[in-house]
Amino acid sequence: MSEIKIDKNLDIRGVVCPYTLVKSKIGIEMIELGQVMEIILDYPEAAVSVPKAMENYGHKVLKIEKINEKEWIVQIKKEVED
């Protein structure tokens, strides 16, 4: 399986809702259509709510993965213009 190319990394560990979404929204606005942003977060609720909100904006969620006890990785591909 080929690795997905990550165009932007966003570290929002320590950030709580709704700022997890605020920062993710601004992050996705900063990449181009078709590019991928990888978010690392540690607020449990955001592992569900951020990907869901990104899908509602029209973007594609490529991966949601719990990487250890407290942290998740979420990969979003930008599919619509802002």
Partner 1 sequence: MDFTEEQLERYSRHIILPEVGGKGQKKILEAKVLLVGAGGLGCPVGYFLAAAGVGTIGIVDDDVVELSNLQRQIAHSVHTLGMKKADSAKKTFEALNPDVNVIPIRERLDSSNTMDLFKDYDIIVDGTDNFPTRYLINDACVILKKPLVSGAILRFEGQVTTIIPGEGHCYRCLFEEPPPAGLVPSCQEAGVLGVLPGIIGGLQATEVLKLILGKGKPLMGQLLIYDALGTNFRKVRVPKNEDCPVCGKNPTIKTLTDMPEEYCSI
The binding site for partner 1 (CB under 8 A) comprises 18-19, 21-23, 25-26, 29-30, 53, 56-57, 82
The smaller minimum CB distance to partner 1, of residues 6 and 80, is found at 80
For the bound state, the minimum distance from the C-beta of residue 56 to partner 1, rounded and expressed in Å, comes to 8
Tell me which DSSP letter residue 27 carries. Answer: H
Whichever of 29 and 65 has its CB closer to partner 1, that residue is: 29
Active site residue 17: yes
Residues recognised as catalytic: 17
